[in-house]
Amino acid sequence: LQRPVEVTSMDSSLLHAPSKSRTSRCAMVSIGVNAVLAVVGLTVAASSFGANAELASVATMPKTAFRASTVAATGLRKSQMPAQKFYGARRMMPMRAVESPAVTEKSVTIEEFLGNTEPKLQKSIMAMFSACKEIGYKIRTASCDKQACFNAFGDEQLAIDVLADNVIFENLKASGSVATASSEEEPTEVNMGGEGYSVAFDPLDGSSIIDTNFAVGTIYGIWPGSKLVGVKGTELKAAGMGVYGPRTTMTLAVDGIEGAHEFLLIDDMSSRHGQWVLSQSFMTVGEGKLFAPGNLRATKDNPGYEQLFNYWYDNQYQLRYTGGMVPDVNQILVKGKGIFANAASKSAKAKLRLLYEVAPIGYIMEKAGGASTNGEQSVLNLEVQQTEDRSQVAYGSKGEVARFEELVGTKYL
């Protein structure tokens, strides 16, 4: 028991000291195992920096190879190693880098993206991006209940949806390219003093759930000319959907540019702080078992909607519904599958307004490769006869939208 143990791979006087007890052998085993695990940890850490790197081969080292390397490091025989305490790297799970939209110093900004867009349309779009940047900040810093917001001293301020409304009107007026604007908060056409385009918007969709800290959003559509009554979604020149969640994003669809495109507001105090940069593009909405069913009260006297809901339930669709149309539609774009539905009935009337919500989001969804319907046709074909017009709606993959038309349709309205 007093025989010194030869250690060839470590230059340490401590390890060359005589091993006087079982405890000292265990200490050397521990040092050797820790040394190998340190190599494993460094290798795994290095491999994680590659976007598509596999786990380093040492991380999946077989038990026998691990023991052999430990023996080489400590000089101990296999029989001296405590097998019952083996916690080798073979227990580690393979790791892959998580794929996410990459934003770099070379990422395209919204200004660059719109470089070839008609100048007045570009100004109108940029006015909405500027407004949504300010709204995003106000939402993050507001202290709100269901009726109003308060400052740091507890003084009541304007409700956050009213603040958002004012911010958008101010930016549109300052652009000089907007002749008429109309808000869902006050559904009248307002003269903006400019010329070129007209903008309809919902300043804060989902404001009723903002006190719960759920994601909310802004929706807008941009039409050519100076009027908003009598227009159709097919005439839209651009539409956008801002999302105020853990990140602030804007998904934009523009006439003449294929697809819908998400821009991320950089908020990390880097050199790009405050910029909107392209983070991902949406070109396809495929089939998949994900559903967001709104206005479920309509199932009581809309047998078609009840049948559709039971179909989703019986076929084990994933329920993903927050109560806010913006985040619920946004997940369909990001996940690339699913359906959002808000059907109506005689007792549960349609709530969503064609001008401010239904048509702009329908434009984005169809540009992204999906479909929309009011139960019998694309919502883009519906003419806005008055600003208060409402419609039931479904957005999503073409197959899911077709099923909505087949089962729900318009026969129970």
Given the residues 205, 262, 366, 389, the one annotated as active site? 205
Question: Is 184 among the catalytic positions?
Answer: yes
pLDDT for residue 99: 41
| Residues 358, 397: Cα–Cα separation, whole Å | 16
pLDDT for residue 274: 92
Question: Is 37 among the catalytic positions?
Answer: no
Residues facing residue 221 across a β-bridge: 200, 239
pLDDT for residue 145: 56
Question: Is 145 among the catalytic positions?
Answer: no
pLDDT for residue 270: 80
pLDDT for residue 272: 86
pLDDT for residue 33: 45
pLDDT digits (tens, 9 = 90+) for 94-103: 433 334 456 6
Given the residues 165, 184, 306, 328, the one annotated as active site? 184
- Counting as low any pLDDT under 50, the low residues of the chain are 1-29, 33, 36-100
Question: Is 161 among the catalytic positions?
Answer: yes
Given the residues 15, 121, 163, 204, the one annotated as active site? 204
Question: Is 255 among the catalytic positions?
Answer: no
Given the residues 202, 262, 306, 366, the one annotated as active site? 202
Question: Is 204 among the catalytic positions?
Answer: yes
The residue written with tokens 């709100």 in the block is 144
Given the residues 76, 161, 236, 352, the one annotated as active site? 161
Question: Is 155 among the catalytic positions?
Answer: yes
pLDDT for residue 106: 82
Closest CA to 299 of 392, 362, 401, 389: 392
